[in-house]
Amino acid sequence: MNVKKNGGCSGDSAAGAVVVIRELSKDYDGKRAVSDVTLEIHRGEIFGLLGPNGAGKTTTLECLTGLRRPTSGSVEVLGHDPAKGTEELRRMVAVQPQEANLFPQLTVRETVELWASFYPSPDDIDGVLERVGLTESAFRRVKALSGGQARRLLLAVAVVGRPDVLVLDEPAAGLDPQAKELLWAVVRQHRRNGGTVLLTTHDMNEATELCDRVAVLVGGRVAACDTPARLVSELTTTSEVTFTTDSGTDLDEIRAVPGVTSVEARPEGAGKVAVRVRTTESDETLRRIAAEPRWAASELAITRGGMDEVFRTLATKTTRAEEQSE
């Protein structure tokens, strides 16, 4: 993995870095929220910041966008210091916050038109509204929007200026599956058009499906940074074997299979139960279950460890390391 001792993450892309963070630390009232974070994000990359609440994700974004000044370390975006807030940089970087106060009396279309007027070469208004799924709501007033529609409008005003760097703070929070797919499509289109995306997320599926690389922040530090596939390969040890069997089937012997760490069952109806087996030896566990007639297993499947387990593993390792240092 591309993880250095100081929590660095430089990536292995040949493209130039558009965001460079070096040993960033930020204190609030004497308490350190972010500690020695080092990251490089490259042009045309979708980069994810993952971590539990309080891990330092939003603080890192605020330093990157000039809303906060680092206590120590440095941040550079497209060759600029964001803390200086230059007009040129504001035109090249757009931010979708978790919440924002838009003008409630304006319509959706008027809002996007207003933001488009701030940029020299904005995107097509109708095209943006279509991509974020707000065409039918174009003439609805902002104050009448649902929570999900409001978040899509925030995305629309962020992308309409064709920014070089798009920063999204928990963009999928509160979105239904269809709206989430629209969001992902907009993010991917932005990358295809040459843009770079930095987003924070709690959604491990979003991190896996959308991000080229992710950095996992735990306790204000970068615990790991790499592609989701490499992190899963190097940091996961367990998988899940699932199957359906008859209600009343004795599952105790499955618990005795080498590698099995837990067995859960829930009623499926029609005299069936769905069984979920966590194991460190998935192939052998699957073979044993399939070969045993008395378990009458059907719909057998394996789910390899994913980013959820990566997240849990890193959080556990960091907590143990902190406890030992104390």
The token pair that represents 115 in the structure block? 């933001």
Question: Which residue spans of the chain are classified as CATH 3.30.70.120?
Answer: 237-304
Phi-psi region of 173 (alpha: psi -120 to 50; beta: other; left: phi over 0): beta
DSSP track, 211-259:
-SEEEEEETTEEEEEE-HHHHHHHH---EEEEEEEETT---HHHHTSTT
Q: Which pLDDT score is estimated for 11? A: 53
**Upper half-sphere CA count for residue 192 (Cβ side, 13 Å):** 7
- Which pLDDT score, from 0 to 100, does residue 138 have? 97
Triad 308, 64, 229: Cα angle to 5°: 25
CB 9 within 8 A of CB 45: no
pLDDT along the chain (326 residues), means of 10: 49 70 94 94 95 89 93 95 88 89 95 95 96 96 93 95 95 86 94 95 88 93 92 82 90 88 89 91 88 88 82 70 47
Fold (CATH) for 237-304: Alpha-Beta Plaits (3.30.70)
Tell me, what's the pLDDT at 85?
79
CATH 3.40.50.300 location in the chain: 45-66+91-213+225-232
Beta bridge partners of 285: none
Question: Reduced to 3 states, what is the DSSP secondary structure of residue 73?
Answer: strand
What's the pLDDT tens digit per position in 241-300? 999 999 888 888 888 888 999 899 999 888 899 999 988 888 888 888 998 888 889 999
Distance CA 299, CA 66 (A): 52
> Where would I find the H helices in 30-86?
57-64
Bridge partners, residue 215, by sequence: 49, 225
Span 45-66+91-213+225-232: which CATH code?
A: 3.40.50.300
The token pair that represents 127 in the structure block: 């095209």
Give the type of residue at 89. Answer: L
Pair type for strands 196-201 and 165-169: parallel
- Amino acid 326: pLDDT: 46
User: Sheet harboring 213-218: ordered strands across?
Assistant: 93-96, 165-169, 196-201, 46-50, 213-218, 221-226
Residue with tokens 């100081």: 6
- Locate 13 and state its tokens: 């892309």
DSSP reduced 3-state for 171? coil
β-pairing, 260-269 with 196-201?
unpaired
* 55 close to 48: Cβ distance less than 8 angstroms: no
**Beta-carbon neighbour count of residue 201 at 10 Å?**
22
Which neighbouring-strand residues pair with 301? 242
Q: How many CA atoms lie within 13 A of 299 on its CB side?
A: 11
* pLDDT attached to residue 307: 84
Q: For the packed helices 307-325 and 228-235, what is the interaxial angle rounded to 10 degrees?
A: 60
d(CA 257, CA 249): 16
Kindly report, residue by residue over 188-208, the tens digit of the pLDDT: 999 999 999 999 988 888 998
CA distances, 282 to each of 63, 82, 224, 257, 287 (Å): 43, 48, 25, 11, 9
Look at residue 15 and give its three-state secondary structure: coil
